[in-house]
Structures are given as structure tokens and as C-alpha cells.
């Protein structure tokens, strides 16, 4: 074991929390608890994964692994007896979560409401599953908790007593969110009923978490609040600034709900911090953000998980505690880094099969990164359940109804086999997107080909297949699938024009590409990546001023686009505006650390500026991500030999370069 940096760790999840909403509230003094973490700890963006589906993402946070490894692929799954579908369960997770690893190492973990965590696992602490908080009957009738909600089961009566029913809320609970609630016609407008459910669910989770902190021993505590995501899906379109398509009356009624949600969470955070104590290391994360400005979509596609279009690519990361730097920002954090960081806090190694790494830049001392091959091979009581364990069908139905109401899944329907097939198809589609997110298009391709073959009328399957073909350099197949989409799709499809333009760009047909991009821009001028592709085309044509204008438009639309910052760095480098180029390259790697091309571009710019030491550092980072990049390694050899006078380092890199050359020769 390494040095233990934390006596206790409190991990708090706020689904969909976003700095874009938080920062103005903190600046006006409305989130003092979070401000105390920011002032005495580190903060940063937390890059999400694709697809941005909450059960997949929260399992990646809890395991440090992508979904292809941890096994949670969807909101739903076929039931064990194949009689229908059910919400995804804890038994479908194929690997140990962080609490299982800590359990094996003699630490006492407690977990509340993590998604998915039903049925609760028999860890050496308390686990309250994500089926706990939802009221499934009127307040006048019994609403017992499903079996398996609480471990150990003898604690269930205590947690049953803590639950809050939406009907128990009074006007005093709703008025902070909707000051003019008395003006709402509740027979026609169901927003207050929805708000009551969200507040009651969230308060129930908080009651369970605070009871545990007050009454039970613990080394690690994880508590997950899904309410910000629900508040935002229901009310973000009423959040200031007013959207032109929102009626003024509705806007005035509900414009305070989202800010009220964040202030409510800050109040709960304050209580958690008070109960945890100053010596506890607190980690606050979200799985993704939520568009709150001009990027809010007016609608989203009528497809499974369509509401995820409202999600933003960056969640939040904040951490404070002993040995954590104070009042600093860190860069490059990903969801996958949370579990390795928690293990590091306890002096435990990460698994080499984990996709994340500990955020050692957060600490006030040099911490060696320790690893073991895999925690999956370590014996001992982890508390994981038998994957065949059944849960309560009634509770599963209630959870399914919630997912349907939120728009994340389609109603199951009467035909069980059709529901199963639909769930299997969506899981396969999401797995393909996981592979694409990992730049493993070769693994995604057969999945997408099968989906397209079985469902040629599903445009999203075909569209992703065409993009996959394009990424693999199979332009003929990309064109074939694109033409098939045009046959099925009668409405305007600007994403398809963007794809056709990108394909033309890759084939050197620059003016043809610009024609497709112009058509896409006319239909949807704020289409993600459109202006970046226009800028790239102008770069190919040597029209750097036009390219600069296009990249500026991209950044005006989304200032947090790492790729747009990278493209802007490249065009400024071409224009010999090296200081501006360096700023944008640093912004790119700050927003998305695992971006090897941006590190390489930064290295080239720094070398041109004569900052050879930092250029070499940028190349070293790039090569940790793409060790086979011979161009980057050649530049590093030249820097070490000619500029930095480090012949031994140059020789080391030359040896690696020779090995790469021999490997490529043997392959051929």
C-alpha cells in the first residue's frame, strides 16, 4: 500500500450539475457550501463519455472503466427469465465498484442511491439502493420498500421511516422554487406535481445519507442525487435568459426553479460537510452537464434516450481535504479518473485494466502512481451479488414507469419479445458508440452493420454506420449508406449534409464540401462541428482568414469546444500568431486532456516560441496517449538532441523509434 492521504472519503454525485449554472450562483453568494470547497480545494471540468446515459456513466465513475468492461449498457435490460424487460440492475455490473474494492481491504463503505444499485449489495456497511426514494402509492395507502432495497435488511425499518412522500410537502416547500405557485392551474398544468416528486425523492435520499453519517461508522461514503437532472429536464427551458419560444407567463412562473434546485443542493451539501467533519476528503462530481444557454435545444429526437440531447459534455469535479491543493483548478479530469483517485486517497493501487488514472495533480505532494494488474483477480469478500439474484417485479415496474415518464425509454408494450428485442438493439447501439468513443471503430463496425441490416429504416443506426465507415477510410461504403438514408429520410437532415461535406473534404473536393456545409448551415446554423468543418476546408484551401472566422463562429456557439480551440491554434500558427496559438492550444488540452493531437500542436507552437522544455513535456504527454506516433517521437528526439542537449534522452527516444519501425516492418 502507498501513503494514505485521507482518513475518510465522502463521494457526492450530483447528476447533470454544471459550472455554467453554478458559477453565477456562487458569485452572488447563493451557494456558500460549494464555495467553501472551491476556496479550500481543487475544481475542474469532468469530461463525460459517449453515449451520455446516466446508468452507464455513474457505473464508469464507480469502476474507472468504460461500459464495454463494466457491462451496464442501457437504462433497461431483459429480465432473467426473458419474460420482458426491467430497469438495469446492480447484478448486471461485471466488475467491482470502488466500494467492493474498499470492502476487500478492510474499510467500511456506505452507499446511498447510486445508479444502478438495486438490489443492494452485502458490503460491510450500509447500502441503500436506487429503488429506495420513489413513492409508489398514494400517501393514504401503504407503500412498502421493495425487497433488497436496504442492506443489511434489519436496517430496512429505520430507512422506511425516513422516506418522504410527495403529498407530505406543503406550500412552504414549493414556494422557494415557484414563488407564484398559487397562480398555477394544477388541473391543466402538472409542473407542481412533478416538482413535488423531485423534491420528495431528493429529500428522501438526503435523509438516508444524513442518518448514516450521524449514526453509523464509515471510512467511505457515496451518495448520489439525481434531482438536478430531473429539475433541468423539467424546467431548464424556463431558466434565464428567456428562450423566444417559451410563453412569457410560463417563463415568469418557473424561471426560478433551476437556480432553486442548485441552492437546495447547496443547503444539503452544507449539512453533509458539517456531518463529515473537516478531516474528511470530500469529492463532488457530476456525470455530464446540462445546456443552460443558447445551446438549449428546442426539442430532441423521438428516439430512446432522446432527452440526452440536452446534456453537455462537461460535468463538474471538486475536491477538498487533507493533502489536497487549495484554491486551484485542475485540467483533464474524466469520469474514469474518479475511482482511481479515491483508491489513491486510501493508499491503494489502481487496476491496470481500469481506463482512468488518479488525479495526482490535485495533491500538495508528489504521489507515485501504483497499480496492480486487476482488482478482479484479488480474492476476498467484495460484497458483490450473484448476478442471477432476482428482485421485486412490482418495484421494477414502478422504476420502468419513471424511465418512460422521463422519456429515456419507450413504453414496454404488450409484446414482451418486441420489448426485449428493442432493448437488446439499443444496448448494442450504445456499445457501438462506446467503442467509437474509445476510437475503436473496428469493433463498432460489425455491431452497426448488423443493426443497419436488421433495421434499414432507422436513420440513427445508418448515420452512425456511415460515420464509422468514414472514420475507417471506407468512403465508398460511407456514400452507399448515406444514399440509403436519403431514400428513407424525407425531411431536411442537416447532419447528413454535414457528413456529406466532411466526406467530400476527406476526398479533397473542397468546393463541393463547402456547398454541402452551406446547405447544412442554412438549415441549422448552430449545428455542432459545422463551423469547424468549414474552417478546416478553408485551411485546406489556404484561406486562413476565412478559416479563422469559421473557428470564431464555432467558439461563439460553444466556448468549451476543445476541438474548436485546437483548430483555432492551428490557424493562428499558420498566420504566425504564435502567442494566440499557444493560448488556444492550452485551452484545448485544459478542456480535454486526453487529446493527443492538441498536445502535439501545443508542442510545435512552444518549439517555435523557443520554449523547448515545455515543448518536450507536451510531446511526452502526447506519446503516453499514442506511443506509436512516429512524427511526435522524431520531434522529441530532435528537441532532446539539438535544443536541450540531453543525448541520453535522445538516444532513449531513438531506440523506441527503431523498435516502432521494426514492428511496422514485421507487420508488413
Cite the beta strand spans of 182-248 per DSSP E. Answer: 220-225
- For residue 91, the 8-state DSSP code is G
C-alpha cell, 21 = 449554472
Average pLDDT over residues 69-86: 85
pTM over 0.95: no
Write out pLDDT tens, residues 247-296: 999 999 999 999 999 999 999 999 999 999 999 999 999 999 999 998 89
**Higher per-residue pLDDT: 398 or 424:** 424
Query: pLDDT band for position 420 (50/70/90)?
Result: confident
- Paired strand residues for 571: none
Q: What pLDDT score was predicted for residue 399?
A: 58
Write out pLDDT tens, residues 206-227: 999 999 999 999 999 999 999 9
Q: Which helix (H) or strand (E) holds 109?
A: strand 109-112
Write out pLDDT tens, residues 132-150: 998 888 888 888 998 999 9
Q: What is the C-alpha separation between 274 and 290, in angstroms, rounded?
A: 28
Q: What is the C-alpha separation between 163 and 5, in angstroms, rounded?
A: 35
Q: Which of 91, 152, 95 is nearest to 117 (CA)?
A: 91
Instruction: Delineate the domains of the chain, giving CATH numbers in brackets.
Output: 8-394 (3.40.720.10), 560-668 (1.25.40.10)
Q: How many CB atoms lie within 10 A of CB 47?
A: 22
Query: pLDDT band for position 666 (50/70/90)?
Result: low
Sign of CA dihedral 290, 300, 118, 374: negative
| Neighbouring residues of 248: CB distance < 8 A, sequence distance ≥ 6 | 242
Q: What pLDDT score was predicted for residue 48?
A: 95
Q: With a cut of 90, say whether residue 578 has pLDDT above it.
A: yes
Long-range contact pairs involving 491-499 (C-beta distance under 8 Å, separation at least 24): 492/523, 493/459, 494/519, 494/520, 494/521, 494/523, 494/524, 494/527, 494/530, 495/463, 495/520, 495/527, 496/463, 497/523, 498/527, 498/529, 498/530, 498/533, 499/463, 499/466, 499/467, 499/470
Q: What is the C-alpha separation between 335 and 643, in angstroms, rounded?
A: 38
Q: With a cut of 70, say whether residue 62 has pLDDT above it.
A: yes
Q: How many CB atoms lie within 10 A of CB 301?
A: 13
- Phi-psi region for residue 563, left (φ > 0), alpha (ψ -120 to 50) or beta? alpha
- For residue 116, the 8-state DSSP code is S
Query: pLDDT band for position 401 (50/70/90)?
Result: low
Q: What pLDDT score was predicted for residue 394?
A: 41
Q: With a cut of 80, say whether residue 400 has pLDDT above it.
A: no
Helix, strand or coil, per DSSP, at residue 328: strand
Pure H helices in 596-646: 596-608, 612-625, 630-638
Residue keyed to cell 468549451: 560
- Mean residue pLDDT of the chain comes to 92
Q: What is the C-alpha separation between 11 and 411, in angstroms, rounded?
A: 34
Out of 163-167, 299-303, 362-366, 568-572, pick the least confident. 299-303
Q: Which of 552, 550, 529 is nearest to 541 (CA)?
A: 550
Q: With a cut of 80, say whether residue 470 has pLDDT above it.
A: yes
Helix, strand or coil, per DSSP, at residue 498: helix
Q: What is the C-alpha separation between 350 and 355, in angstroms, rounded?
A: 10
Q: What is the C-alpha separation between 550 and 287, in angstroms, rounded?
A: 30
Write out pLDDT tens, residues 168-187: 999 999 999 999 999 998 88
Average pLDDT over residues 402-420: 65
**Higher per-residue pLDDT: 355 or 417:** 355
Out of 373-387, 477-491, 620-634, pick the least confident. 477-491
Write out pLDDT tens, residues 289-325: 999 998 898 887 777 778 888 999 999 999 999 999 9
Q: Which of 4, 616, 44 is nearest to 365 (CA)?
A: 4
Query: pLDDT band for position 407 (50/70/90)?
Result: low
| Neighbouring residues of 362: CB distance < 8 A, sequence distance ≥ 6 | 42, 319, 324, 325, 330, 341
Q: Which of 207, 233, 49, 201 is nearest to 130 (CA)?
A: 201
Q: Which of 149, 284, 125, 273 is nearest to 205 (CA)?
A: 149
Q: What is the C-alpha separation between 174 and 395, in angstroms, rounded?
A: 27
Q: What pLDDT score was predicted for residue 411?
A: 66
Query: pLDDT band for position 409 (50/70/90)?
Result: low
Q: What pLDDT score was predicted for residue 649?
A: 95
| Neighbouring residues of 560: CB distance < 8 A, sequence distance ≥ 6 | 45, 312, 313, 314, 591
Q: With a cut of 60, say whether residue 392 has pLDDT above it.
A: no
Q: With a cut of 90, say whether residue 384 has pLDDT above it.
A: yes
Amino acid at each position: 500500500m502507498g501513503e494514505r492521504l485521507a482518513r475518510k472519503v465522502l463521494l457526492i454525485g450530483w447528476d447533470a450539475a454544471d459550472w455554467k449554472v453554478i458559477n453565477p450562483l456562487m458569485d452572488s453568494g447563493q451557494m456558500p457550501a460549494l464555495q467553501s470547497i472551491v476556496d479550500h480545494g481543487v475544481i475542474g471540468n469532468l469530461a463525460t463519455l459517449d453515449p451520455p446515459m446516466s446508468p452507464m456513466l455513474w457505473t464508469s465513475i464507480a469502476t474507472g472503466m468504460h461500459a464495454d468492461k463494466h457491462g451496464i449498457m442501457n437504462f433497461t435490460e431483459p429480465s432473467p427469465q426473458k419474460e420482458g424487460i426491467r430497469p438495469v440492475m446492480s447484478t448486471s455490473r461485471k466488475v467491482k465498484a470502488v466500494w467492493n474494492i474498499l470492502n476487500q481491504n478492510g474499510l467500511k463503505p456506505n452507499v446511498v442511491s447510486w445508479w444502478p444499485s438495486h438490489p443492494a449489495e452485502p458490503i460491510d456497511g450500509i447500502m441503500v439502493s436506487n429503488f429506495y426514494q420513489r413513492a409508489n402509492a398514494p400517501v393514504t395507502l401503504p407503500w412498502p420498500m421493495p425487497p433488497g432495497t436496504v442492506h443489511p435488511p434489519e436496517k430496512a425499518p429505520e430507512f422506511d421511516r425516513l422516506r418522504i412522500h410527495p403529498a407530505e410537502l406543503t406550500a412552504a416547500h414549493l414556494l422557494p422554487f415557484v414563488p407564484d405557485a398559487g397562480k398555477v392551474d394544477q388541473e391543466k398544468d402538472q409542473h407542481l406535481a412533478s416538482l413535488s416528486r423531485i423534491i420528495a425523492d431528493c429529500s428522501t435520499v438526503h435523509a438516508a445519507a444524513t442518518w448514516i453519517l450521524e449514526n453509523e461508522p464509515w471510512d467511505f461514503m457515496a451518495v448520489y442525487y439525481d434531482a438536478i437532472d430531473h429539475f433541468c429536464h423539467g424546467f431548464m427551458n424556463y431558466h434565464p435568459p428567456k428562450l423566444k419560444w417559451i410563453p412569457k407567463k410560463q417563463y415568469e412562473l418557473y424561471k426560478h426553479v433551476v437556480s432553486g434546485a442548485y441552492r437546495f443542493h447547496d443547503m444539503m451539501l452544507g449539512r453533509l460537510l458539517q456531518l463529515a467533519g473537516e478531516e474528511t476528503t470530500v469529492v463532488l462530481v457530476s456525470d455530464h452537464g446540462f445546456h443552460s444557454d443558447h445551446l438549449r435545444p428546442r426539442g430532441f429526437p423521438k428516439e430512446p434516450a432522446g432527452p440526452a440531447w440536452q446534456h453537455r459534455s462537461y460535468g463538474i469535479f471538486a475536491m477538498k481535504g487533507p493533502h489536497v491543493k487549495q484554491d486551484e483548478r485542475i485540467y483533464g479530469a474524466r469520469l474514469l479518473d474518479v475511482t482511481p483517485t479515491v483508491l489513491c486517497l486510501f493508499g491503494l493501487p489502481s487496476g491496470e485494466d481500469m481506463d482512468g488514472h488518479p488525479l495526482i495533480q490535485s495533491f500538495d505532494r508528489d504521489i507515485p502512481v501504483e497499480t496492480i494488474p486487476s482488482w478482479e483477480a484479488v480474492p476476498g469478500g467484495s460484497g458483490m451479488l450473484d448476478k442471477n439474484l432476482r428482485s421485486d417485479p412490482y418495484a421494477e415496474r414502478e422504476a420502468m414507469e419513471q424511465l418512460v415518464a422521463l422519456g429515456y425509454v419507450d413504453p414496454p408494450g404488450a409484446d414482451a419479445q418486441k420489448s426485449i428485442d428493442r432493448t437488446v438493439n439499443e444496448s448494442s447501439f450504445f456499445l457501438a458508440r462506446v467503442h467509437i468513443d474509445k476510437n475503436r471503430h473496428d469493433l463498432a463496425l460489425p455491431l452497426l452493420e448488423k443493426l443497419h441490416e436488421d433495421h434499414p429504416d432507422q436513420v440513427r443506426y445508418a448515420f452512425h454506420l456511415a460515420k464509422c465507415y468514414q472514420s475507417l477510410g471506407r468512403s465508398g461504403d460511407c456514400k452507399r449508406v448515406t444514399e440509403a438514408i436519403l431514400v428513407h429520410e424525407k425531411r431536411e437532415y442537416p447532419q447528413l449534409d454535414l457528413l456529406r461535406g466532411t466526406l467530400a473534404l476527406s476526398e479533397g473536393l473542397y468546393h463541393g464540401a463547402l456547398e454541402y456545409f452551406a446547405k447544412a448551415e442554412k438549415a441549422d446554423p448552430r449545428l455542432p462541428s459545422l463551423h469547424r468543418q468549414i474552417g478546416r476546408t478553408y485551411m485546406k484551401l489556404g484561406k486562413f482568414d476565412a478559416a479563422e472566422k469559421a473557428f470564431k463562429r464555432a467558439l461563439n456557439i460553444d466556448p468549451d469546444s476543445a476541438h474548436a480551440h485546437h483548430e483555432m491554434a492551428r490557424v493562428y500558427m499558420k498566420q504566425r500568431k504564435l502567442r494566440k496559438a499557444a493560448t488556444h492550444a492550452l485551452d484545448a488540452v485544459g478542456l480535454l486532456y486526453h487529446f493527443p493531437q492538441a498536445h502535439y500542436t501545443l508542442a510545435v507552437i512552444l518549439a517555435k516560441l523557443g520554449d523547448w522544455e515545455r515543448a518536450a513535456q507536451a510531446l511526452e504527454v502526447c506519446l503516453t496517449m499514442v506511443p506509436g506516433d512516429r512524427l511526435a517521437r522524431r520531434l522529441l528526439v530532435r528537441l532532446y538532441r539539438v535544443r536541450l542537449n540531453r543525448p541520453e534522452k535522445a538516444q532513449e527516444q531513438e531506440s523506441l523509434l527503431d523498435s516502432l519501425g521494426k514492428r511496422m516492418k514485421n507487420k508488413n
